[in-house]
Amino acid sequence: MADAPAPARRIDGKSFAERLRERVASAAARLEADHGVKPGLAVVIVGEDPASQIYVRNKGEQTVAAGMRSDTHRLAETTTQDELLGLIARLNADRGIHGVLVQMPLPAHIDSAAVLDAIDPDKDVDGFHVVNAGRLAVGLPGLVPCTPQGSILLLKDALGDLSGLHAVVVGRSNIVGKPMAQLLLAENCTVTIAHSRTRDLAAVCRQADILVAAVGRPEMIRGDWIKPGATIIDVGINRVPSSDPAKAAEGRTRVVGDVAFKEAEAVAGAITPVPGGVGPMTIACLLANTYVAACRAAGVEPERLD
């Protein structure tokens, strides 16, 4: 019997993100030393969702570690839309704040689209505002969504030039799937966007040199959906019951991606793990966007971070 091919290389997003954060920190230090500008990020969280609280705390700590100002605004679940819009207006006007992020999801009584629309596009470090989506679509400089940007950095590090490769993006959200497709197109990939209504999704995925999974369904992408040697970017972060039944009974959970990792690892050429893949890149790119927004506000050309 022929030997099984070597398992896929694991793309280490955690250490790549650490290096990116170091580059952001030294660029931010030079911006402060040479121009007296310290980049400032305001994060707004509404309600008590425990997972969101953890993300927000991590963002705050990493922002400070990068030598930037971090303000966290924790608002009660019962905060009205007008109160939230009032805070955003104050942050938009605050010259010491260069990035404004409103943690999603918001409580059901708040219109998320109206909130995103209220953020000054030049402070929209999530890249979620329609103005930034439009800039990305037509190739104008703007602020690019963090998870897709982080995924592109990992892909270019793994593969070099992406020109001519067939990229399949599974998922069509405004925050990951669509901007990811735009960025891959800008890298000269041939791009397919697949989604829940795609016919024979497995066959579409099998065409991919680059497969980006951004569906939010635990381990949906199976090993036999993957072209041998393909590069897999797993954007999913799904909490599922612990695989140990005793721990699961106690309510313990583990985090898995949208890709069945063990199966995929046996077929792919390279793959991002979950955790330790795309997730840490999201926060590093948020800090990079905050630095870029601060440079532009000061009329200073940002240093290259890649």
Ligand X SMILES: Nc1nc(=O)c2c([nH]1)NC[C@@H]1CN(c3ccc(C(=O)N[C@@H](CCC(=O)O)C(=O)O)cc3)C=[N+]21
Residue 306 tokens read as 């890649």
Look at the chain and count its residues.
306
Smallest gap from residue 273 Cβ to ligand X (A): 8
Smallest gap from residue 120 Cβ to ligand X (A): 15
Cβ atoms 286, 65 nearer than 8 A = no
Tell me which of 120, 122, 124, 126 is the catalytic residue: 126
CA distance 289 to 282: 10
Q: Which of 42, 146, 176, 181 binds ligand X (CB under 6 A)?
A: 146
Q: Which of 88, 102, 115, 201 binds ligand X (CB under 6 A)?
A: 102
Smallest gap from residue 227 Cβ to ligand X (A): 25
- Binding segment for ligand X (CB under 6 A), chosen from 19-27, 73-81, 261-269, 280-288, is 280-288
Tell me which of 62, 103, 149, 182 is the catalytic residue: 103
| Contact between 104 and ligand X per CB under 6 A | yes
Q: Which of 91, 115, 283, 295 binds ligand X (CB under 6 A)?
A: 283
Report phi then psi at 106, rounded to 5: -95, 160
**Residue 237 assigned to a binding site:** yes
Q: Would you say 147 or 182 has its CB closer to ligand X?
A: 147
Q: Would you say 231 or 282 has its CB closer to ligand X?
A: 282
Report phi then psi at 107, rounded to 5: -55, 155
Contacts of 184 (CB under 8 A, 6+ apart): 152, 162, 167, 169, 191, 210, 212
Smallest gap from residue 69 Cβ to ligand X (A): 18
One-letter amino acid for residue 236 of the chain: G
Q: Where are the beta strands (DSSP E) in the chain?
A: 9-10, 40-46, 69-75, 99-102, 166-170, 190-194, 210-213, 231-234, 238-241, 253-256, 270-271
Cβ atoms 51, 105 nearer than 8 A = no
Q: Which of 7, 29, 32, 55 binds ligand X (CB under 6 A)?
A: 55
Mapped onto helix, strand or coil, the DSSP state of residue 190 is strand
Site for ligand X, residues 249 to 278, rule: CB under 6 A:
255, 274-276
Q: Would you say 201 or 283 has its CB closer to ligand X?
A: 283
Q: Would you say 8 or 201 has its CB closer to ligand X?
A: 8
Smallest gap from residue 74 Cβ to ligand X (A): 15
Site for ligand X, residues 117 to 136, rule: CB under 6 A:
126
Contacts of 160 (CB under 8 A, 6+ apart): none
One-letter amino acid for residue 237 of the chain: I
**Residue 164 assigned to a binding site:** no
Smallest gap from residue 114 Cβ to ligand X (A): 15
Cβ atoms 69, 41 nearer than 8 A = yes
Report phi then psi at 157, rounded to 5: -65, -40
Cβ atoms 288, 20 nearer than 8 A = yes
Q: Would you say 241 or 276 has its CB closer to ligand X?
A: 276
59 is catalytic: yes
Provide the binding-site residues for ligand X, judged by CB under 6 A: 55, 101-104, 126, 146, 237, 255, 274-276, 279-280, 282-283
The annotation places the binding site for NADP(+) at: 171-173, 237
| Residues noted as catalytic | 59, 103, 126
